[in-house]
């Protein structure tokens, strides 16, 4: 299980956010992926659902059920905090940035880029030596 300090900090965060243990529905599922006999025998995957907000978390990062319970609660609290404060999570920010980068340029933006290239080309022509322009 997680250390006493970690458990204490988790409880403090739950109190700070107003999350009660009764509001969390917890289930244990058999994990998937590598792990051999341990995965097939023990239900190490932890599924948490915060009933008032409907936020769901599934964690199977560790081989130990106790560690997964701790991590799942941490993740759940982070999601609840983001929902309460209205902040975008780091992952959502990254996805939005990629979406903006891949978005098609508007016609005006394309014309602006082309005009900039033309001006740059004209500057380069002016920089040519006299010998190159005579040929």
d(CA 45, CA 61) in angstroms, rounded, equals 8
Q: Residue 93's pLDDT is what?
A: 83
- 10-residue averages of pLDDT along the chain (135 residues): 81 89 90 72 89 91 88 92 74 88 93 96 89 68
Q: Residue 46's pLDDT is what?
A: 93
Q: Is 21 helix (H, G, I), strand (E, B) or coil?
A: helix
d(CA 57, CA 60) in angstroms, rounded, equals 10
Strands 55-59 and 45-50: antiparallel
Q: Residue 74's pLDDT is what?
A: 92
Q: Residue 64's pLDDT is what?
A: 85
Residue 85, judged by CB atoms within 10 A of its CB (0-12, 13-18, 19+), counts as exposed
């Amino acid at each position: 299980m997680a250390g006493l300090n970690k458990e204490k900090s988790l409880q403090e965060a739950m109190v700070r956010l107003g999350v009660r243990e009764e509001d969390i529905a917890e289930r244990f599922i058999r994990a998937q992926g590598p792990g051999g006999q341990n995965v097939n025998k023990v239900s190490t995957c932890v599924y948490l659902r915060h009933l008032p907000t409907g936020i769901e978390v599934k964690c199977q990062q560790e081989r130990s059920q106790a560690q997964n319970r701790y991590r799942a609660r941490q993740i759940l609290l982070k999601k609840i905090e983001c929902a309460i404060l209205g902040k975008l999570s780091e992952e959502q920010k990254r996805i939005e940035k990629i979406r903006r980068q891949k978005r098609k340029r508007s016609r005006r933006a394309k014309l602006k880029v082309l005009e900039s290239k033309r001006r740059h080309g004209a500057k380069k022509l002016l920089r040519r030596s006299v010998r190159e322009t005579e040929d």
